[in-house]
Structure 1
Amino acid sequence: MGRRSDHTREELAELIVAAGHAHLAEAGFARFSAREVAKRIGYSIGTLYNVFGSYDGLMLAINGRTLDLWHTELAARLDEAPGDRLTAAIGAYFDFALANRHAWTALYDFRLPEGTPLPPFYAEKVAAITGLVVAEVAAALPPARRARAPDLARSLLATVHGHCFFALNGTFALLGESDPLAAAQARVREAVAAAAQ
């Protein structure tokens, strides 16, 4: 029987997200189970859906936790970067993905039904991360070219993501690429240099 009166709704939401994030990090998205999360915290699965509305709501809350962690780590790395902040940001991308492989890939594996917009709280978390990247790209461009930063940042994120994903799944090893991080950093430098002209 679930512990229905042990926690406030806010406490329960935090408990569920923490347990769900831990389970996702261990099992990966393909093996993620809301029922397992409920079991871990001693509540019924109905309680999870009562708090988050649906499986999608639960996954958005858990992935939101990953985005928060990622934003914190990226911001910290940028604060510590002595020089080339874009290079530091790319390193942070790779490091976060490697250290949080299952949670990171779940950001991309989970999809809302087609035509369903992201809820504002989640869109804000995504925008916070991309905003950091856009700011760094803009800072790397001359003032006359800074209007290009948002479009360029999206393309650079796709480039870095592709390099990182290929590194994680072994594709780059098959292709003979021994240093995917350095390759991603080189492609970003080239793109920024071209955009600066």
Structure 2
Amino acid sequence: MARRNQHSREELQALAIQAVRDLVAEHGLEKLSVRKVAERIGYTAGMLYHVFANLDDLILQANADTLAQLLEAMIDCPSPEAREQLQHMAQVYVSMAQDHTPLWKMVFMHQMQNAAEVPEWYQKKTAALFREVEVRMAKLAERHDTAQIHLAARTLWGSVHGIALLAADDKLVVAGDVNAQAMIESLLQHYLNSWAEA
């Protein structure tokens, strides 16, 4: 590893974020600490506090990277059809929950310490996902107003998230060992059919 003074602030930030991702993938979020991140990259915890406000900030920065990768994969669909794009988005979401469970859970289950507010910049990152869902749902039923689209996108994605969570925790056996992707297909088929006809 390079000497400490050979890393710029941006490089140190990138090293720390990658260390967070690696540590969480290896040991889970509950065992993460600034000290462990610092040890992983060969710095002191005090040095990291010059780059990140606290552990929450470090986690949110790492989550922002995960969200960016997730969103990029979700919108990378070859079909121009909104319904097929939504199907692809949901399948990618569930696949990430199953294949990269610790990182996926860190995004959606991290709780801010001391009930601190989630910063606005991070709220915008999470809102971007819903915005992509809203755009496609609007194409399926343009007569619906903004409030209806807003509600429907969150209702649909809340259901997708529930399936993803069960899949991530390997709890689908309680539903009769049903395939997660089959559940997603069923959910979207019935919900979107109803949405388009309403």
Tell me the equivalent position of 2:161.
161
Tell me the equivalent position of 1:123.
123
Tell me the equivalent position of 1:138.
138
RMSD: 2.0
CA contact (8 A) 1:48 1:58 kept: no
Matches within 5 A, 1:67-86: 67-76=67-76, 78=77, 80-81=78-79, 83=81, 84-86=84-86
Change over 3 Å in CA distance of 1:140–1:177 after alignment to 2: farther
Tell me the equivalent position of 1:191.
191
Q: Could you tell me the TM-score, scaled by structure 2's length?
A: 0.87
CA contact (8 A) 2:25 2:102 kept: yes
Q: Within 2, Cα distance between the matches of 1:43 and 1:11?
A: 13
Q: Which deviates more from structure 2 when the two are superposed, residues 38-47 or residues 178-187?
A: 178-187
CA contact (8 A) 2:75 2:85 kept: no
Q: Within 2, Cα distance between the matches of 1:174 and 1:120?
A: 38
Cα deviation for residue 3 of structure 1 reads 4.9
Unaligned runs of 5+ in 2: none
Runs of 4+ deviating beyond 6 Å: none
Q: Within 1, Cα distance between the matches of 2:170 and 2:15?
A: 35
Tell me the equivalent position of 1:20.
20
Deviations 1:61-111, CA, capped at 9 Å, x for gaps: 1111111111111122x3x23642211111111122222111001112211
Tell me the equivalent position of 1:107.
107
Q: Within 2, Cα distance between the matches of 1:194 and 1:177?
A: 27
Tell me the equivalent position of 1:36.
36
Equivalent residue pairs, number: 193
Q: Secondary structure of the residue that 1:57 maps to in structure 2? A: helix
Deviations 1:112-143, CA, capped at 9 Å, x for gaps: 146533223212211222211111221222x2
Q: Which amino acid aligns with 2:174?
A: L
CA contact (8 A) 2:63 2:106 kept: yes
Cα deviation for residue 29 of structure 1 reads 0.9
Cα deviation for residue 194 of structure 1 reads 2.3
Percent identity between the aligned chains? 27
Tell me the equivalent position of 2:89.
89
